[in-house]
Copies of this chain bind each other. A is one copy, B any other.
């Protein structure tokens, strides 16, 4: 049996961690001296400790680790989880890389003088439109939005109801939340059709006075467009009064306005994409704020 210091030294786990795992019930010492409270560990506990460290390293919380240990999984099952988890982690790494190169964009374009962004903002009325839509909370926006559009286009095509105008997204959140956005993905239709448990058919209200801004490029350019829109709103004495929409005007790799979204939507030549953000605005009452 080992006192905590040696057990720590040989397993490369800090003493504090061992005490913490004891406290959580993850790894109880085989013996605790009732007089002194000293913890004694045995080499019999190495497999369990190794499992704990391995699962923790895979990114599970200690609570999850505890549950996994309780389920008494076979080594094969754990290694299956390991492989799943590894795939997840690799996916995250790819996203991370993408996010990082966005950081570069952000610095290059937004940092010094956003005035150079050459966006034209116009205020115009937007007509009401009948749509088939799905509204839900999404976390990984771009990917999920793509799948939802696909689902809607297939459904609408099956009913031969597609209207000849662009699909769009409504951002219903009134503020930004880290853990996912309340999004409605909408495809215009010509006439009323039956919805189902996922798909709602409804009329999206028209809006008098939407500030509209067309921009080119992929999803990562949306932030820039939004910044430009903010500058315009402030400079012209408006304020927002409703949810933001993002209209996908051109999104096929070949530059045609397609109604079915190929994979190319996500991967190929995003610089050809054309989108428009639309924000309901109203004039600020009273004197325009001084600058």
A229: chain B residues at CB < 8 Å are 10
Q: In the complex where A14-B178, A99-B57, A229-B10 touch, is A104 in contact with B75 (Cβ < 8 A)?
A: no
Tell me how many residues of A have a C-beta within 8 Å of chain B: 62
C-alpha spacing A176/B82, complex, angstroms? 26
C-alpha spacing A53/B13, complex, angstroms? 35
A1: chain B residues at CB < 8 Å are 234, 289
Q: In the complex where A82-B103, A89-B100, A103-B58 touch, is A226 in contact with B111 (Cβ < 8 A)?
A: no
Distance of A243 from chain B, by nearest CB (Å) = 9
Q: In the complex where A1-B234, A14-B178 touch, is A57 in contact with B9 (Cβ < 8 A)?
A: no
Is A114 on the interface with B (CB-CB < 8 A)?
yes
Cβ contact within 8 Å between B12 and A176: yes
**Chain A interface mostly helix, strand, loop or mixed?**
helix
For A75, give its contact among B43, B112, B227 (CB under 8 Å): B112
A239: chain B residues at CB < 8 Å are 2, 6
Distance of A176 from chain B, by nearest CB (Å) = 5
Q: Mark A67-91, 1 if CB is under 8 A from B, else 0.
A: 0000000010011001000100100
Cβ contact within 8 Å between A230 and B43: yes
Cβ contact within 8 Å between A42 and B234: yes
Is A200 on the interface with B (CB-CB < 8 A)?
no
A75: chain B residues at CB < 8 Å are 107-108, 111-112
Q: Mark A54-71, 1 if CB is under 8 A from B, else 0.
A: 100110000000000000
A-B contact pairs, 13 of them (CB 8 A): A10-B229, A11-B230, A12-B176, A43-B114, A43-B227, A46-B231, A47-B110, A54-B111, A75-B112, A82-B104, A82-B107, A86-B100, A93-B96
Sample of 7 further A-B pairs with CB below 8 A, known A14-B175, A50-B111, A51-B111: A8-B175, A43-B235, A46-B114, A46-B230, A46-B231, A57-B100, A89-B100
